[in-house]
Chain A
């Protein structure tokens, strides 16, 4: 019923600044990520993309700025910069993956997905005390969480490998498992840090389909850091471009593709013949 103008976006980042000693990693960055949309965060190496992620998911406390998460269904609001990292996942429902995959390598694929449902299961086991005595409620909850795990295993095509240790999976499988694990926390916002890194073209095509499925069927927002332009341009609804900690462009893929600032940031330094043309076009 409400119009877009009234409903606040899923994620609002305002005047975010992150300073490490003398280094200004993020400089007064503001952007929004809409619900049920894929927002991509791109930029050259060292632009501060992962730092933004770490601020949103609570791994860093920003020097300045405000990060607000708004749940569309309940209307609840969370000020992420004030929350502990694990509470951001638990209460504000933000899940993330890592640039260098962080799976529980010695645990099976299924166990990885059950650890992600820890908070639900902990409650069901009455904080372990009920679980030790084997209350029926816990058994039921465990069956349900295994069902959820099976659902995601099927979605990322790892059902056959469910009982294998996570570090035995091939690289692409580990990437997919990390996304499945993040989805098992039932997030409202899924933050993916370079999910296509190291994937072959066929695998990154599958990743596109998976992310679109998550957006459309699970109706959540996706925030994506990515270098692979076939992924970024193919599926993003909205792109934010960072360079040296500042936002240099913001818009739809078409707009960003044509933005001279973006072209300069990506190509201008290396290919000198491009510069005069852009400089001429800029004013």
Chain B
């Protein structure tokens, strides 16, 4: 203890006081949550007291805080070193990103043929890829144009219902409905865009949130058109260029290719379908960033007034961002409908919007590879901690908080310039604006 005191001037009394205070806070939190359990008894609910876990939790907090005092906050370099370490981590992640992109792609292509890829893994991967695609779509609106959209799931719903209704009423194939669903969703994006153009920041977020709810409530109540809460079932499954993945029938996928029938074929097909859709999203977004419209989006995020002084039509710029983001959500939505075979308004609640937004923010706004990592962590994390039951959300929240403390601007907190004269230098996110709507 004397050494620690010498090294950085550790004030023992203050430290102990701080640790005890932290213990008191911990006791207040863990006392009711860990210490008291309700168990159904004969005459209603019985309250059971368990003070051992509380004692352990409080001891951990006090001890942990003391160790932090001694070994972490007591270090010589202080703030500068932390910032330096952050920058170093960022650079390492960027360096990693150069190889991580192709490596992840190769892994994604090979995944269905790897030995451990059973039905569960493939289903989970399809889910992750759906969120990657949604994240990339929302990244255009939030990450590039800096417009905070809390109702993104509305466009996802429009895409899903477009496909389901068109396929049911007209019997058109998935490949015809897919672009239509995208167009409808983009159209809705423009419809949402018009009234919110004048709004900025928090106000924009509230209106987009309301828009998402309006779409869900309409889907829920317009019974004659959408079948209301009963949802739409029997949505046609996709076929491999006209070859269905059925066990029976004359012309099926497995018969044409002379394979043994397996229900996995369709899953693998769906997997590649969403992989291709997601990659198209990525390709188009990366391409758009280097075009004038993409640069205008980013300029809009940086400073809207300067944009207008340079002759940029900010109205159109915002509308294209909304429409583009919505279109990709529409594609993802129609994929969702064909994969599930059944959709109902329950799939399009606000939680989905929040999840996609969390993926974008966690990944680092505007970063494509960051969205992938965040989607894998978030959706995969949900699955890994499924056994933790009611503690799942607790773990999840804790992870989110710690990541935001550690990397406030997301995992990949850098911006890559869209054009360069001599040398491409990455720009630290500290210089990049978040946008004000």
- Same complex for A and B? Answer yes
**Chain A contact residues, CB within 8 Å of chain B:** 57, 59, 85-90, 95-96, 98, 102-108, 110-111, 114-119, 121-122, 125, 128, 131-132, 138, 142, 146, 150, 159, 162-165, 167-168, 181-182, 185
- CB atoms of A103 and B433 under 8 A apart: no
- CB atoms of A131 and B291 under 8 A apart: yes
If A106-B415, A114-B419, A128-B293 touch, does A86 touch B427 (CB 8 Å cutoff)? no
- CB atoms of A95 and B309 under 8 A apart: yes
In this complex, which of A86, A117, A132 has the most chain B Cβ atoms within 10 angstroms of its Cβ? Answer: A86
- CB atoms of B309 and A85 under 8 A apart: yes
- CB atoms of A86 and B313 under 8 A apart: yes
- CB atoms of B427 and A165 under 8 A apart: yes
Partner of B310, one of A89, A105, A125, A128: A89
Q: How far is the CA of A111 from the CA of B320 in the complex (A)?
A: 20
> 5 closest pairs, A vs B, by CB?
A106-B432, A89-B311, A104-B302, A90-B311, A121-B292
- CB atoms of B309 and A106 under 8 A apart: no
CB contacts (< 8 Å) of B248 on chain A: these are none
CB contacts (< 8 Å) of A122 on chain B: these are 292-293, 296
- CB atoms of A162 and B310 under 8 A apart: no
Complex A-B: 7 CB contacts under 8 Å = A90-B313, A104-B299, A111-B298, A118-B296, A121-B291, A122-B292, A131-B287
Cβ distance A139 to chain B, nearest Cβ, rounded Å: 11
If A106-B427, A162-B422 touch, does A86 touch B284 (CB 8 Å cutoff)? no
Q: How far is the CA of A159 from the CA of B312 in the complex (A)?
A: 25
CB contacts (< 8 Å) of B284 on chain A: these are 132
Digitize B416-436: 1 where CB-to-A-CB distance is under 8 Å, 0 elsewhere: 011111111101110111000
- CB atoms of A181 and B310 under 8 A apart: yes
- CB atoms of A111 and B311 under 8 A apart: no
Please report the total number of B residues contacting A with Cβ < 8 Å.
40
Digitize B288-304: 1 where CB-to-A-CB distance is under 8 Å, 0 elsewhere: 10011101101101110
- The chain B residue sitting closest to A92, CB to CB, is B311
- CB atoms of B421 and A162 under 8 A apart: yes
- CB atoms of A111 and B288 under 8 A apart: no
Question: Assuming A118-B311, A122-B296, A125-B293, what are 11 further A-B pairs, CB within 8 angstroms?
Answer: A85-B308, A86-B307, A86-B314, A102-B306, A106-B298, A108-B419, A121-B291, A132-B284, A138-B291, A168-B431, A182-B310
CB contacts (< 8 Å) of A163 on chain B: these are 417, 420-425
- Tell me if B276 counts as interface (CB < 8 A to partner A): no
Q: How far is the CA of A105 from the CA of B299 in the complex (A)?
A: 9
- CB atoms of A115 and B308 under 8 A apart: no
- CB atoms of A110 and B420 under 8 A apart: yes
- CB atoms of B425 and A102 under 8 A apart: no
CB contacts (< 8 Å) of A119 on chain B: these are 311-312
Q: How far is the CA of A41 from the CA of B252 in the complex (A)?
A: 80
- Tell me if B28 counts as interface (CB < 8 A to partner A): no
- CB atoms of B288 and A128 under 8 A apart: yes
Cβ distance B316 to chain A, nearest Cβ, rounded Å: 9
